[in-house]
Structure 1
Amino acid sequence: MSTNPFRPTMLSRRGMSRALGALGLAAACLTGAGSAFAQTAVRFTLDWRFEGPAALFLMAQEKGYFKAEGLDVTIDTGNGSREAIPRVASGTYDAGFGDVNSLIRFRDENPSVDLKAVMMVYDRPPFSIVGRKSRGISADVKSLEGKKFGAPAADAAFAQWPIFKTVNKLDDSKMRMENVGFPVREPMLASGEVDAVFGFANSSYINLKSRGVPVDDIVTMLMSDYGVELYGNVVMVSPKFATEKPEAVRGLLRAITKGVRDTVANPELGGKLVIQRNDVAKLEVEVERLKMTIAQNVMTPAVKADGFGGIDKARWEQALDQIGLTFTFKDKAKAGAAFDDSYLPPVAERKF
């Protein structure tokens, strides 16, 4: 009897098992390779520790928004909103969160480095002078004259003093500026060693309150309430990352936008995400700090009207003029071209 050449070959049970096993291994390898290919690693630096405001970015990680964009984002703490800039400019980090005014100055001092901001997060900066009524400080700027200040040299708020004193016509010839470290700034004010400090309102106010200073003894002067037209912290990306992976930048900003939206809606969850990463933080303190940041810096009237993440060009030009009071531009136009809105999601997605 002749053999039918078209008759299927019958595999033994062992052979069938081996064949299926090989197919499963191949599928697993392909799946793993696909996942590895899809996930773009992104190193992101914060401006400071894991405190309330960090939730704006941690939320996107928690909700899986980064992963959905094909991004494997690592979020690290920082040492100040100015120090985030060289971290990103050098390529040590692909993206980061830092002070846009310091970025503009950095661009003027390093014209060959085309580092840019791609998303405005703090529409109003948290730059402030925080003092105590019991030390003679009031809401009247003239009460600052003749006082002693804790002024960290690397502090972004202190860097704006030339603007603040100019627009408010203050005489600082009798003021004493003492260079102090960040860790001792609020303790010195709490103990009465200084009359006021420069800092971020969402840090200095909350830290003083947590140290037992009575709320009615704390005076917070937000510089944006006293004629300072500057913007605040931004998301910036390294020139290399922006050039080589523009779609990753767009995905990063889409994810952050969703994370900010969810944080605004649920700051209590945001606080929990922070304390999961900071074992010395207190939930109620970080939730209050986050709510303060959202109200004063993120969800401003302009953002509610025009959407999160962008800038007003006329105000940007005003801010550049004020920055010019802090130092002399070598090339104002080049330094001022520090914001690129082309990576932002559509405005409709940024209104919440």
Structure 2
Amino acid sequence: MRHFLNTADWSRAELEAMLDDARAMKKAPLGDALKDKSVALLFLNNSLRTRTSFDIGARQLGGHAVTLSPSGGMWPLEFEDGVVMDGEAEEHVKEAATVLSRYCDMIGVRAFPKFVDWKEDRKDKVLNAFAKYSDVPVINMETITHPCQEMAHILALKEQFELEGRGALDGKKYVLTWTYHPKPLNTAVANSALMAAAKFGMDVTLLCPTPDYVLDERYMMQAEKDCRANGRKLTVTHNIEDAYKDAEIVYCKSWGALPYFGNWAPEKPIRDAHKHFIVDQKKLAMTNDALVSHCLPMRRNVKMTDAVFDGPNCIAYSEAENRLHVQKAIMKALVK
């Protein structure tokens, strides 16, 4: 039995096979690969695309999805082992995961970090607890990484470059750029984008305002390892012009600086001073006709201008659509 917790746990060949399957199902969406199968979708945080695409995807393959959330009457859960449960939690994850495993064939988990202590949040306790105690495959629907999103992202890039006759992803300059947001956000999408771009053979540039915004060393090291294995390089820069020059892909995302995790007041002035990192036409003109995308939801004219988002280079809608197809492929792979 395998889980789908991070793309780092799967080889490029395995991921490519899932993407090929996703493409096939995009052309012929209905099937019976999940006939008489069920998936429990546990949402501890908000969702629009993830909830909808998993539910529809399971149904299109003949299966059934059950959505669970705290607001929907689910018992508060305890995720620490060996604790005296005299607080708010009514049930331990061990019981919840075990029982759900007897009802369902897969469990999807969305649980954002608490944004208080990164040393604790980086342990990914909720996801790992379900993986530990579940007897069926567990899917990461976004915790401190977001592998489903990045599979959709990679598929959208492949499709668009092929449509334009611009070849494969290998060797292309991929820029992951930080953008301003009024709130400090999760690093999950950025972590996964960094690793996915490296795994799929691209030259990866991380653009962020200061060294404080460099991502966690776990993901930087994984990306560096994959870049080396593919004969590529990972570059970190704080210079907008250097990053955008000749870029073929620009992926924008906002995230909070890890050294300020849980103490966001001193970080806000740094964030506020870098609103000019917005993806706009002037920056896009520096690139090699780069494809641009974002995971959504996105604040228009904060992270990316209307002109860029609604322009011909942006593939965010295709990426969002591909969530449905790649997640069907992931579920199929896990129940084989």
Normalising by structure 1, we get a TM-score of 0.30
Normalising by structure 2, we get a TM-score of 0.31
Structure whose residues are more often helix by fraction = 1
Higher relative contact order (CA 8 A, sep 6+): 1
Higher Cα Rg: structure 1 or 2?
Answer: 1
